[in-house]
Amino acid sequence: MAEGNQGEAYLLIDVGHVLTHAAYISRVEGAARLAAVAEASTTTTAVEGGLLDGVRRATANLELLVGRQILDRAGELRQPRDADGHGVDGVVVTASLAPLLNVALVGLTRDFSLASAVRAATLPYVSLQRAISLDGSGDCWDAEDLEALVQQPPDVVVIVGGADGGPVTPIREMGEALSTAYSLLAAPERPAIVFAGNERACRPLQAAFTGVVEVSAVANVRPSPQKEDLGGLQNELARLFYNRLGRCEGLRQLSHWAQVGLRHDLDALARTLRFVARRHGLARGVLGVDAGGNGSRVLWVRSEGPALNWASPFGLGSGLAALRQLNDPTAVVRWMYHPISWAEVWDRLSNIEVRPGGVPETEEDWDLQQAAVREALAATWKGALGAWAAFAEGRPAGEADMIVARGTTFNHARTPGQAALMLLDALQPTGLVRLALDWANLLPGLSGLAERDPQAAVQVYDHDALLELGTVVAPRGVLRSGARALHARLTVAGQARAELDVPAGSIRRLPLGVNERGRLELYPARGLDVGLGRRGRGGVVEVRGGALGIIIDARGRPLRMPDDDEARRSTLEAWQREIEEP
Amino acid sequence: MRAEPIASRLYAQTVVEHERRLPAAGEVLVAAGEQVESGRVIARCQERGPLRVVDAAEQLGIARDALPQYLRVRLGQEVQEGQALAAGGFMGWRAALAPVAGRVAGIAAGRIFLEETPRLIELRANLPGQVIRVLPGRGAVIRAVVSRVVGIWGAGGEGYGPLVLRSAAPTESLHWISIDLACRGKIVVGGCCLDKRVLLRAARFRALGLVVGGLAEHLRAAALELGLVVVVTDGLGAVPMAGPVFDLLAAHEGDEALAAGGRGEPVARLPELVIPLGAVRGPVHVAPDRPLAVGDRVRVTRAPYLGATGCVLAVVEAEGEVWARVSLDDDETVVVAYRNLERLG
């Protein structure tokens, strides 16, 4: 997409593992607005015609809604938009289908160069396969590590180590062993080698790999113990990832069709969430949550610093297999209020796993799907908190001012309350947090649109991108069920709007519409912390409304459910009911 | 939203192009245009053995760059398990031994790299038909007129042999006692499989494969572990085989077929059962993907009618969703989300 001039209409396409989403952006009285969204099943096999078939179907569905032709008779894009309003001026394509870049890190010291390399490689499109430190074995390889790097070669091996000007021998020996091992692989199977260590060791290392693979050298990630430089390595990993993306047959075809470069959806989402964090001045950042078919991802983005991501194999399609492998038969059942045996639950989930494109048709099936989302996200979140602890800079990892959820399960939930409750149960946020849905799957595409037409991207973001569910007040701590947990008073434009006592173990809502702002006075019980300094401290906070207004989640943290099955089911049912009650 | 095209899961008569591919580059033994039988070896290759790294300098207690003086083998030499690769000390009493038989593939930084003896892989056609395309160095594509059932889950690679029915009706579960020596070298067909003993007996009596409508979810791991070729056609759990699928397989009892679990190939494929038709009977039906239409035979893939089959009475597109009115085989008429339907034929 060429930069500069403003277009009249844009097409945003997001290709997921199960569904392909298309959105049509057009100008209405000078401002860019979302006109329609449509979806179709993602097609991947050659029999189905590859990814393009699904993209064309989603676009054709969009044409029905907007009453404009976007494709010509041959199924090609009509670009630019003509005088009759047919066609589009630009296209943005994002895809989560792109396989992540598998990276192995090898360093001399775990606490210095390797730690910096891990930070540099914490990118949305990188899967860190292994991080090998040679400091425990006298600066030399363990045979098992070398064997593993050959049996399952990553896409990229990053070698780091040594301050600039330091000794060369350990790096050269490391390279010689690795080079000999990789010379045994056929050339196409050999990984790319990136060196981001002692600059003096660069030439000897390149010499060690001569005739095997070319070593690309970037700036030392740890030129001295006090200094860190991650930019060079991050740029190189981005280059390698997008190079490889361009070589994936299906994605290359799609990129050629759209005449634009493809973006990985998580990379694109991180950019948009960074904008969101800055635009709203969210000091604790934004948490992006994506429950997908073959896995779930969480992304924590603050105004500054790295965008931290965590991907797990727990998903709602083929990713259900990973949930089953937890070997906990109660794993999903514990979130269900319908009395179904765990055997029946896993039979049904297995059928969803092999046919992820289906939709629930019964109350039980909805309950089952949402229970699986809770389990998948909770397991993902647990992994993310562990992985992010090192990046939290002394604050609790993952605590954000806003949570934005993506994925069909959230966007197709029958009520906003169900979407909110899934998030609250799985992530158990504390303090004051805004909840929102990327209801039209626009956020990744907006970062691409911003490169072409920043004003249009901001206008669409402001008006159409998010469905604000509301602000959650979730005290940390546990009280006896039924005891008064919190007293809350909401004032809007100087007028008292609502006032209530919230019993422990329950959820209550205060009415505050979308785009409304209010002042919320909170008086928590002595044992509870609402994030205003310490336990029992109350105060007044400015809050924004949403489809559900203000949600006071006084169920306590960590969330506790009765052990008895019947009591647990009735508790879950009560929570479902309470979040729907205005 | 428009009704999307759906691929059929059942073809009474169609043409398949069966790609057979080696896991590594090798030699192709057939030419385009040749007729091949199922057992014919069409390509072969040597699969590289795994790499073993011997830290010889460490084991001998010497400096890494001193290793060449202590070597007892040279680059490229074949070695036997337990053979001394390098030795030092008085009378050579400290030695680094080969942990496996193989070839010395590299020596660097005080280490000896051994490549285990490669394994010969022979690729059989597994389907009688005509070679229509040779994949240079990799394999070939074989074209045949067949009956075809596409499964929803599979285990194992491929097995080619005669079909034998062990259930009298599509709703009948396989009983372990019905799996006997007569199943050896055959593909066993049953309504569903809910008993692990069925799998154990099928493996023990060396059945070539198992084709069932439903398979208990917890038996999937056992099927994979046993290396058995399994094709599940309808669903996981106590799901019967769809009537039209069962009728087709019953009509071909005794005929040779290819059961493919979809996991034995370098790239995972859909599990399927393919029955070669010696002679073409009537017009060959190459059913392209298309949206469901009134009169189509369908199978429901989601609760509460999971596994039920019937005929489409109407397809309704409304409020961004697509639904179908389906007359089930038990005469009940139900409305089902379009995405929860599969075409049979």
Q: How far is B304 from chain A (nearest CA, A)?
A: 7
Q: Of the candidates A66, A95, A124, which is a domain's last residue?
A: A95
Grade residue B282 by pLDDT with cuts at 50, 70 and 90: low
Closest residue to B115, CB basis, from A47, A184, A344: A184
Check if the beta carbon of residue A20 is closer than 8 Å to that of residue A40: yes
Angle of helix A169-183 versus helix A143-151 axis, rounded to 10:
40
The per-residue pLDDT string of chain A (582 residues; one tens digit each, 9 = 90 and over) reads: 444 567 899 999 999 888 899 999 999 888 999 999 999 988 876 555 678 888 999 999 999 899 999 999 988 999 889 988 899 999 999 988 777 889 999 988 888 888 889 888 877 788 888 888 887 656 567 778 888 888 889 999 999 988 887 888 888 888 888 898 898 888 888 999 999 998 888 999 999 999 899 999 999 998 888 888 888 998 999 899 888 877 777 788 888 888 787 888 888 999 999 999 999 999 889 999 998 888 898 999 988 877 888 888 898 888 888 888 888 878 899 999 999 988 889 889 999 998 988 999 999 999 999 999 999 999 999 988 887 876 666 677 778 999 999 988 999 899 999 999 999 999 999 999 999 999 999 999 999 999 989 999 999 999 999 999 999 999 988 888 888 999 999 999 999 999 999 999 999 999 999 989 999 999 999 888 888 878 878 889 999 999 999 999 999 888 988 989 999 999 999 999 999 987
Check if the beta carbon of residue A164 is closer than 8 Å to that of residue A226: no
Phi and psi at residue A290, to the nearest 5° = -135, 110
| Residues A317 and A443 placed together within one structural domain of the fold | yes
Q: How far is CA B205 from the centre of its chain?
A: 20
Does residue A253 belong to any structural domain of this protein? no
In A355-467, which ranges are continuous DSSP H helix? 363-388, 408-411, 416-427, 443-452, 454-460
Q: Which is nearest to B108 in space by CA: B55, B170, B41?
A: B55
| Residues A163 and A139 placed together within one structural domain of the fold | yes
Q: Which is nearest to A315 in space by CA: A407, A248, A438?
A: A407
Letter for the amino acid at B272? E
Proportion of chain B in helix, strand, coil states, percent, rounded to 5: 15, 45, 40
What is the β-pairing status of strands A507-510 and A495-503?
unpaired
User: B52 contacts in A (CB within 8 Å)?
Assistant: 143, 147
User: B8 contacts in A (CB within 8 Å)?
Assistant: none
Does residue A189 belong to any structural domain of this protein? yes
For testing contact with chain A, the best of B67, B217, B299 (most A CBs within 10 A): B217
Per the CB < 8 Å rule, is B50 touching A151?
A: yes
Proportion of chain A in helix, strand, coil states, percent, rounded to 5: 35, 25, 40
Per the CB < 8 Å rule, is A147 touching B302?
A: no
| Residues A13 and A33 placed together within one structural domain of the fold | yes
Letter for the amino acid at B305? Y
Rg (CA), chain B: 27
Among chain A, residues having any CB pair with chain B shorter than 8 Å are 38-41, 47-48, 57, 60-61, 64, 140-141, 143, 146-147, 150-151, 173-174, 176-177, 179-181, 183-184, 186, 343-344, 346-348, 350-352, 354-355, 357-362, 364-365
Q: What CATH number has the domain bearing residue A47? A: 3.30.420.40
Judge residue B162's burial from the number of C-beta atoms within 10 Å of its C-beta, 0-12 exposed, 13-18 middle, 19 or more buried: middle
Pairwise CA distance, residues A259 & A517, whole Å: 43
Cβ neighbours, 10 Å, residue B71: 18
Per the CB < 8 Å rule, is B25 touching A176?
A: no
Total domains in the fold of chain A: 4
pLDDT of residue A45: 61
| Residues A451 and A483 placed together within one structural domain of the fold | no
Q: Which is nearest to A443 in space by CA: A280, A289, A245, A254?
A: A289
User: A350 contacts in B (CB within 8 Å)?
Assistant: 217, 220, 236-237
pLDDT of residue A2: 46
For testing contact with chain B, the best of A180, A190, A411, A439 (most B CBs within 10 A): A180
Q: Of the candidates A32, A64, A95, which is a domain's last residue?
A: A95
User: A38 contacts in B (CB within 8 Å)?
Assistant: 1
If residue A553 lies in a helix (H) or strand (E), which one and from where to where?
Answer: strand A550-553
Does residue A4 belong to any structural domain of this protein? no
User: B55 contacts in A (CB within 8 Å)?
Assistant: 140-141, 143
Per the CB < 8 Å rule, is B1 touching A38?
A: yes
How is residue B179 written in tokens?
């799996």
Phi and psi at residue B7, to the nearest 5° = -80, 140
Closest residue to B302, CB basis, from A344, A347, A361: A361
Q: Which domains does chain B have, with CATH numbers?
A: 10-17+142-276 (3.50.30.10), 51-116 (2.40.50), 297-343 (2.30.30.30)
Closest residue to B52, CB basis, from A147, A347, A354: A147
Per the CB < 8 Å rule, is B237 touching A350?
A: yes
Whole-number Cα distances in Å, A7 to A223, A451, A454, B49:
46, 12, 11, 57
Check if the beta carbon of residue A216 is closer than 8 Å to that of residue A192: yes
| Residues A132 and A81 placed together within one structural domain of the fold | no
CA torsion B97→B100→B102→B104, rounded to 10°?
A: -30
Mean pLDDT of B80-99: 84
User: B109 contacts in A (CB within 8 Å)?
Assistant: 140-141, 173-174, 176-177, 180
Check if the beta carbon of residue A98 is closer than 8 Å to that of residue A127: no
| Residues A334 and A361 placed together within one structural domain of the fold | yes
| pLDDT tens sequence across B225-277 | 999 999 999 999 999 999 999 999 999 999 999 999 987 665 567 899 999 98
| Residues A213 and A302 placed together within one structural domain of the fold | no
Per the CB < 8 Å rule, is A180 touching B339?
A: no
Per the CB < 8 Å rule, is B218 touching A346?
A: yes
How is residue B290 written in tokens?
């298309």
What is the β-pairing status of strands A402-406 and A484-492?
unpaired
DSSP state of A516: -
Closest residue to B53, CB basis, from A143, A343, A348: A143
Check if the beta carbon of residue B231 is closer than 8 Å to that of residue B273: yes
Does residue A252 belong to any structural domain of this protein? no
| Residues A350 and A269 placed together within one structural domain of the fold | yes
Judge residue B118's burial from the number of C-beta atoms within 10 Å of its C-beta, 0-12 exposed, 13-18 middle, 19 or more buried: middle
User: Helix (H, G, I), strand (E, B), or coil: what is residue A332?
Assistant: coil
Whole-number Cα distances in Å, B98 to B61, B78, B107, B265:
17, 11, 13, 32
Q: Find out whether the peptide bond into A80 is cis, omega within 30 degrees of 0.
A: yes
How is residue B183 written in tokens?
């199943």
Q: What CATH number has the domain bearing residue A304? A: 3.30.420
Per the CB < 8 Å rule, is A180 touching B107?
A: yes
Per the CB < 8 Å rule, is B236 touching A61?
A: no
How is residue A391 written in tokens?
């990046």
pLDDT of residue B297: 93
Which domain does A490 fall in, by range?
471-582
Does residue A2 belong to any structural domain of this protein? no
Per the CB < 8 Å rule, is B108 touching A179?
A: yes
Does residue A66 belong to any structural domain of this protein? yes
pLDDT of residue B285: 60
Exposure string for B281-302, b = 16+ CB within 10 A, e = fewer: eeeeeeeeeeebeeebbbbbbb
Residue-averaged pLDDT of chain B: 89
DSSP character string of A414-444: SSHHHHHHHHHHHH---EEEEEEE-TTS-HH
CA angle B255, B260, B310 (to 5 degrees): 75
| Residues A61 and A169 placed together within one structural domain of the fold | no
Pairwise CA distance, residues A371 & A323, whole Å: 12
User: Helix (H, G, I), strand (E, B), or coil: what is residue B182?
Assistant: helix
| Residues A24 and A148 placed together within one structural domain of the fold | no
Among chain B, residues having any CB pair with chain A shorter than 8 Å are 1-2, 4, 7, 25, 48, 50-55, 58, 64, 105-111, 113, 115, 152-153, 216-218, 220, 235-239, 289, 301-304, 306, 336-337, 339-340
Closest residue to B302, CB basis, from A39, A143, A358: A358
Interface A-B, measured as beta-carbon pairs within 8 A, has a size of: 120
Does residue A494 belong to any structural domain of this protein? yes
User: A184 contacts in B (CB within 8 Å)?
Assistant: 48, 51, 105-106, 113, 115
Check if the beta carbon of residue B294 is closer than 8 Å to that of residue B313: yes
Per the CB < 8 Å rule, is A358 touching B110?
A: no
Closest residue to B64, CB basis, from A173, A343, A348: A173
| Residues A273 and A313 placed together within one structural domain of the fold | yes
For testing contact with chain B, the best of A106, A185, A347, A411 (most B CBs within 10 A): A347
Pairwise CA distance, residues A425 & A375, whole Å: 9
Closest residue to B217, CB basis, from A146, A177, A346: A346
Closest residue to B105, CB basis, from A179, A184, A350: A184
Per the CB < 8 Å rule, is A355 touching B301?
A: yes
The whole-model pTM stands at: 0.85
Q: Which is nearest to B159 in space by CA: B193, B189, B186?
A: B186
Q: What CATH number has the domain bearing residue A129? A: 3.40.50.360
Pairwise CA distance, residues B87 & B95, whole Å: 4
| pLDDT tens sequence across B196-229 | 999 999 999 999 999 999 999 889 999 999 999 9
Q: What is the residue whose two structure tokens read 């050579």? A: B92
| Residues A112 and A237 placed together within one structural domain of the fold | yes
What is the β-pairing status of strands A31-41 and A90-95?
unpaired
Per the CB < 8 Å rule, is B236 touching A354?
A: yes
Does B45 score more than 90 pLDDT? yes
Does residue A257 belong to any structural domain of this protein? no
Q: Of the candidates A419, A445, A465, which is a domain's last residue?
A: A465
Contacts of A17 (CB under 8 A, 6+ apart): A42, A96, A97, A292, A293, A294, A317, A318, A356
